[in-house]
């Protein structure tokens, strides 16, 4: 990040700040059982846990679902997840230590997630962050989700910091795409929900970190 003064650190939520895969997986498995199918092992679900409700449903029911069937399963999946939103969800190791250090350095931090407000409005305040985020942008806050740039620009506007002075940390290709297109620096959270078939080295992140505290070396 040479030559760039970072004033804000913005994060993805699922797979970056919070380990939500077990609760998302539990909701999928409840749905599979309801539909007369066998539950999937956690190790199969984890890599797609940040791919949204449709991605998780496709994992369980196949990619060839018709639109009507997909929508019915998606709605039911979201209801099941909503009923057990935070039974097993935790912050990743090192997240709070990082947030505390960002605060100590006078840096702003916030969240830009594709998770809908229905969930983030309850989950984010419940999570035991050392300090609350300065901004939380959900997947439906501005009507479109990442990789569209609008959520990124909205977050920067809300905190009053130009995108080029922000770094965005995420675990998915769309995170890196969305950050790059608006001029933010980007960091790949390698501890997140990355599938074996993904090629994160081709996503173009400015850096890759394997633990939250490693980010400090890039600020």
CB-count burial class (<10 Å; 0-12, 13-18, 19+) for 144: middle
Tracing tokens 């940390």 back to the chain, one arrives at: 169
Q: Quote the CA–CA distance of 8 and 167 in Å, as a whole number.
A: 7
Q: Quote the CA–CA distance of 75 and 70 in Å, as a whole number.
A: 9
Q: Characterize 167-201 residue by residue with b for buried, 16 or more Cβ atoms within 10 angstroms of its Cβ, and e for exposed.
A: bbbbbbbbbbbbbbebebbbbbbebbbbeeeeebe
12 is catalytic: yes
Three-state DSSP at 191 gives coil
Q: Which of 14, 19, 23, 171 is catalytic?
A: 14
Phi-psi region of 14 (alpha: psi -120 to 50; beta: other; left: phi over 0): beta
82 is catalytic: no
Closest residue by Cα to residue 134 from 1, 52, 5, 11:
11
Closest residue by Cα to residue 193 from 9, 8, 10, 25:
25
- Positions marked catalytic: 12, 14
């Amino acid at each position: 990040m040479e030559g760039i003064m970072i004033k804000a650190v913005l994060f993805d939520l699922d797979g970056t700040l919070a380990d939500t895969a077990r609760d998302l997986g539990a909701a999928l498995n409840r749905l599979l059982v309801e539909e007369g199918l066998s539950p999937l092992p956690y190790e199969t679900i984890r890599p797609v846990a940040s791919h949204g409700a449709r991605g998780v449903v496709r994992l369980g029911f196949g990619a060839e679902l018709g639109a009507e069937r997909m929508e019915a399963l998606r709605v039911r999946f979201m209801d099941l997840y909503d009923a057990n939103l935070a039974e097993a969800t935790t912050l990743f190791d090192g997240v709070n230590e990082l947030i505390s250090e960002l605060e100590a350095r006078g840096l702003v931090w916030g969240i830009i997630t594709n998770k809908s407000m229905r969930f983030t409005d309850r989950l984010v305040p419940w999570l035991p962050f050392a300090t609350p985020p300065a901004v939380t942008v959900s997947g439906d806050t501005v009507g479109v989700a990442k990789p569209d740039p609008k959520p990124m620009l909205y977050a920067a506007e809300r905190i009053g910091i130009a995108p080029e002075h922000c770094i965005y940390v995420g675990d998915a290709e769309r995170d890196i795409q969305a950050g790059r297109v608006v001029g933010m620096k980007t960091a790949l959270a390698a501890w997140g929900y990355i599938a074996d078939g993904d090629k994160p080295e081709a996503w173009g992140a400015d850096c890759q970190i394997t633990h939250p505290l490693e980010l400090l070396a890039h600020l």
